Structure 1
Amino acid sequence: MIEPDDRTGWVSGLRRFPGGSDIAQVTFTSGTTGMPKGICLTYEALNDTVERLNTVMSLDGSVREYVGVPPNYSFGLGRFRACAAVGGQAFIPPRGFDVGEIAAMLRREEINALSAVPTLLRILLKNADAIGSSGRNMRWIEIGSQYMSRSEKEALKALFPNARIVQHYGLTEASRTTFLDLTATDGEGLESVGRPVGQTRVEIAEDGRIRICGPHVAKFAMADGAFSPLTDADGWLTTNDLGEMRDGNLFYQGRADDLINCGGIKISPELIEAELREALTPSPAVSLARIPDPLRGDGMLLAHLPGPHDEAALRAATEAVLRKRGLVVGNALKLTQVERFPVTATGKVQRRILGENFVREETDRSLHDQIDRAIAPQDADTIRALFEAEFNRPCIRDEDSFVSLGGDSLTFVVISAAIEDRFGSLPKGWEVLPLANLEALFPKPREQSGGVLAMRSISMETAMRAIATLMVVAHHTFKAEVGAGVDILIMLAGLSMARVQRARLVSSKRWTILRDVFLKIVLPYYLVLVAFSLRRMDGSVAEFLLVSNFVGRVGSLLTPFWFIEAYIQSILVLILFACIPAVRTFIRDQPAKFGFAFLAAAIGIKIIAILTFDHDELLNRTPDQFIYLFAIGWCIYFANTWTRTALVVGIAAFAAFLNYASVPWWGGFGGEMRGAYKLAAVMLLVAVPVLVMPDLVRRLFLEISFASFAIYISHSLTIPRLREVMPPTILTIVLVAIGIAISHTIKLALPIAKTYANRRVQQR
């Protein structure tokens, strides 16, 4: 064993190792993704690596190398063996990698070789002026096994024009598997990490992981005093790295355990970081890590060091890079500034620790702050603050709109109600307006003068949602024939689909509409359904499969809550239609004409189904009977001309007449006035965009509209007990108040639930 007098400085008098299959060295991994493990390397493996390395680099005895990486890990140890094999010398810097020291030693011609990982070489490139013309004194450079972009390699070649620059790909278990000679390579080839040399072989497994075979591969690892095999029976080591082979070259695509699967789109952090460094000048110091996201599976954390770019610029650049890969990341992208990145001894960023630290900081944040964000829409002083609170995004750009931010129908209700409450009536189509335009329309909250009796405006859609919800409750408390409330809610669902989900419907993300509905509607519905089933001491699989409206008569109450099933089935039908390319094109290019064609088809299906099947036991609650209401809602959104308005009102009037006349081939139930209520709703929605009413009434309508879902699913649970002790009017008021209270409780409880869930994820 040769041990230098000091722990740093020049090391010379090194000698070559003997050959053989005995274990020569136990090297511990750097622990990038977990606890380090001991890798057992034989003399044969070490010598094979050195021979291939020195052949590629044409290293000779004149080498005097600045070893810029720790000497007790695979890369650094390999450099000392390489120098020893040719009788050269190696220098261990006393302060670690130091650009000033490298520049000074180059000028004095004390060193002519350098070994470093890309992270350190980027620091050197940023300080290229310190190297200057002395870069010509550099003869050899070896780059460690991390991703480095083509432009960075070209800059390195320009800074050291006389150097033989070689990058390797490998890992402790199979050091220096491939080599890329930058000096002899240009163009697209610089994006690769080279090709195998000698007896080394490389292939790509079916799951995209890199597999390695050759005499340099370690056969065993040591942990807890026991040996475990690293290779299969044929000698192949399957790594945790992703890559692909092109024209014999290996293109490294990041670590599989760093891979981010965001909504089904897989993202390699290293490639995104490289593109960000290309996109912004000066290049930012960033690292992308995986964090949990409840909707998309994986979210993204962009950690950055203090620098010239603010978070808005970093977010915009990151979103642009991700969009090129087909990913609109929305609020799944988080940003955080750190003083330093957690790294291994060899300089590799520990992304897992970055993500864990961020999750820990988020969960340790005051619950009061999170609750403040939850109720912020009611207190926001600007449209931007309202958007940031509801979408949980700190930096929203001027060009962003409600639709581009991924808003859905439930978010639409919340934000539109909050804007109308604080700022005034919204213009039609506000959901697609850029934020800058909305802020120009509503620069500040309006003066709240005049008290609760002052006349205020409210959008007809918001008011109609409240009215329809009241009709549903009154239908069960007064036992009155006002059952059109659910029909109107279905129409409003179709209108909302046309407004906020149309763009997603014609994209490859159409199925995410159902995912969002499941998380925001179906899961709460299941909780209520369980409670309802326990109260009745029975239950039905069909109810939980959301198809009980196909089973038959279910009793006097909304058991199950058939509107939920109707809503989901309507969305499913529309998504299935959109899966047909021709229909998808029709929706995208001519959405209004599609709506009327959809309506005509739905009416035809309704009539044929009535004439073909007996619907008495199903109470006309199957999709063939109510989907036309969803289509009417879609058409209402596009009723912006006299022709379209007359057409949609005419169809609604004809349906009302058929309902009133109890025409057998039309079907229907709920009394003669049901069709009239629906006709009135259609006429108001297309003809009266805004209602003016006392502020007290308007606020009540806003609360009911915001809580419509909670009111709908909660009122049937409490009616049986309260009906015995309350008159219908008081009962109606109490049921609505309970629903509103539940809605606000859920909104306030969400931050607590999120905190608990994040802590559970962190503990795992």
Structure 2
Amino acid sequence: MALIHSRCADADPADAGVLASLSVPPDVARVPFAAELARRGERPAIVTAECVVTYRELAERVEALLLRLGTARRLVALTASNDVDSVVGYLAALAGGHPLILLPEDKPAAFDSLVAAYDPDVILRSGADGQNVLDERRKGTRHQLHPDLALLLSTSGSTGSPKLVRLSHANLQSNAESIADYLGIGEDDRTITTLPMSYCYGLSVINSYLLRGASFVLTDLSVVDSCFWELFRRHRVTSFAAVPYTFELLDRGGFADMELPSLRYITQAGGRLAPATVERYVELGRRRGWELFVMYGQTEATARMAYLPPRLAASHPGAIGIPVPGGSFRIDPLPGLEEGELVYTGPNVMLGYAQSPEDLALGRTVHELRTGDLARTDASGLYEVVGRRSRFVKIVGLRVDLGQVERILADLGMEAACAGTDEGLVVAVKGSNDLQLVAKVLAQGIGLPRASLQVCSVPEIPRLGSGKADYQGILALPQHGRVPAEPSAAQVEETGRDSVRRIFEATLELTGVNDGDTFVSLGGDSLSYVAASVRLEQLLGHLPTNWHVTPVRDLELQARTPDQPTRRSWFAPTDTSIVLRAVAIILITGTHVGLFTWPGMAHVLMAVAGFNFARFQLTGDRVPRMKRQLCSISRVVIPSVAFIAVAYVLTDRYSLANIVLLNAVIGPEEVTTQWHFWFVEVLVYLLLGMTAVLALPWVDRAERRYPLLFPLTLLAAGLTTRYDLVDPGVPNTAPALWLFALGWAVARSRTWAHRCTASVIAALSIPGFFENPARETTLLAGILVLIWLPSIPVPRGLQRLTGLLASSSLYIYLVHWLVFPAFSDFSQALAVAVSLCAGVAYWALCSHMPPLLTRALGFRRRQPGYTR
């Protein structure tokens, strides 16, 4: 994909620096790495899937927002996501000396709670036009803001607790410097966002890279998404950050087998990583040429307090390591405990907490950080955390205040007690309640995956002799008293409700679907896509964009429950490729029968085939991808060969060349009945050819690095056969490589400019192809629809039929040649209807065969614990 520099103006870099200094009164404290962006000039700062923003351009955008914020120091709240606008808003506040409350964009309840508690003067949001939306609630400020105050971060995830950490300009600068120091970050380094920037760990990555003039790729993609690794390779990323849960996803996604030559190191924080996992990844990094940095930190220390030097990780996998540069530890003894409390001192220790707006006027109230963690040192001087003194846990990298969980339920009128570990929470609720509803409310309010939360109904809250809640007893509550995060298979069967896992297992013929799996990572292709998408739309009430690369966990969270009725419209948005396949097979069959004449749709389907090849067959590493491609080809070849063999026996219309799908190459040049299956033959040639070419390592690398340029190059090669400059050697058919490649390029088009380019290519190359204006118009219209419409509204009453016809399109194409002659003399409409029904029946028969066929071909069915 071509990178487009998002030039904002033609200002000189030095001018941008002058402007930034003029926009802020000289007595206002600022964070240097945010205020001195322009001095990095034309070096790349931010990379997205669509553009590259240089440091000069970033400085200009920050300066433009600074002018809108004004010179009066005000309290700003920013709803942040991993996009350029959020980064600009964050840096503008730091550069202008405006204290900033940073909040996640996807947690509106937490945002509303904190806005109500702190009454910010300005609210910043990302805008649709690339410019921040500024909601100015007052011209000046109603707050007393301490001159050192720079940033306010939540201590309890996304619950909306009013307790915030007050960080100074010096906190942010010093911690960014120490992190950049021990990681050895240089100007040529590039990281990629794996965590939200509203999370202190994710934010510290951005800070330390900006400090050194390095760059980062902004994305919300998950590490289980193949598109994430395409971005990673294309932009030569040198590092990424991970929490313990990330490593589970990496294991599921086959990370150990990935070729990532640019990777220099992985950092880990956000909770304790199991020593066995540390050892395994240290060894993997040793073999692959990268290092693992295990780190330890808290929001109260602006992110990082300790790191474990990679050379010591293998021998001390349970340690947090040594203090970051500029920091120091001590362990204060605790009565009755062998280990003491870990206490940290350093320039990155927060100013203190804020509980209300009045606290924003406070200066430093904390000089050292009592971490609440129990720790010890070993003979080599490395620190190890062995437990927690406070009632906080970290789950999938999110710090959860157990007391806040209890307060949420108390506000709902429930008496409850909560206990937890890094594995999840157990909540005991007194009396009779709708436990499924309680679990859902808590999961959404805290921002945890439902699988990390267990809710139990108890007659009385377990208590100790002192009257305090018995948290160990709560953790040990009987398993049968807990409510599973998602309905069990038995519950689904009993209620008749579907689930995302059940849909994927049924349509992909596998078992053991995991939270981090996606439709594509599980081996889904264009044939199974139709059935899965129709059932998902019925389950969710809508079909999310890019659902096929969305983790199961995220799709499950969108699933409707019985207490969530959804108002449904008369029309359902249906994937354009599905609609085109359904419409095309009807028009093809009707044209062949003679009911009407509408030629050109078979060639539309050739472009759709290229489109789906790019979506489903170009993920993962080279060898597993090749196996999946061959398996997908077998799903075309085997039913085709089987049916044509039967047709050869029953009629005299076909030859042995048809059975082996070689008639287009060795058959007679004149058009006869042996020409009936040209589409299947050419499609198989293209799929086999692409699989063979992409099996070459250097071609595989080229496709990953240039995902749009690669199909455009194939398109250019295909046009040499379209314009008769090269003989393709397939006499019975018009050249089709260029249409397949055009569909491939459409799937890789991410921007308006890309789609315009594909449209122009189609508009210039299609006229004159058939020397039949009607046929060419059909082909051009079909491709333009594929380019510009991601979905098409289909009446809900016809949605299932549309999906059925699209799923059966290949089989209808095969069988209609034998079926319609028996009925066309009686009724052409009946001949079309019977052909469609026969094709659906053949599809239904073949749909029960894949497990047998895949085993025969050497492809194993997925079982629990098996990762493709």
Per the shorter chain, which TM-score range? Answer: 0.3 to 0.5
Rg: which structure is higher? 1
Instruction: Report the TM-score, using the length of structure 2 for normalisation.
Output: 0.39
Structure with greater helix share of residues: 1
Instruction: Report the TM-score, using the length of structure 1 for normalisation.
Output: 0.44
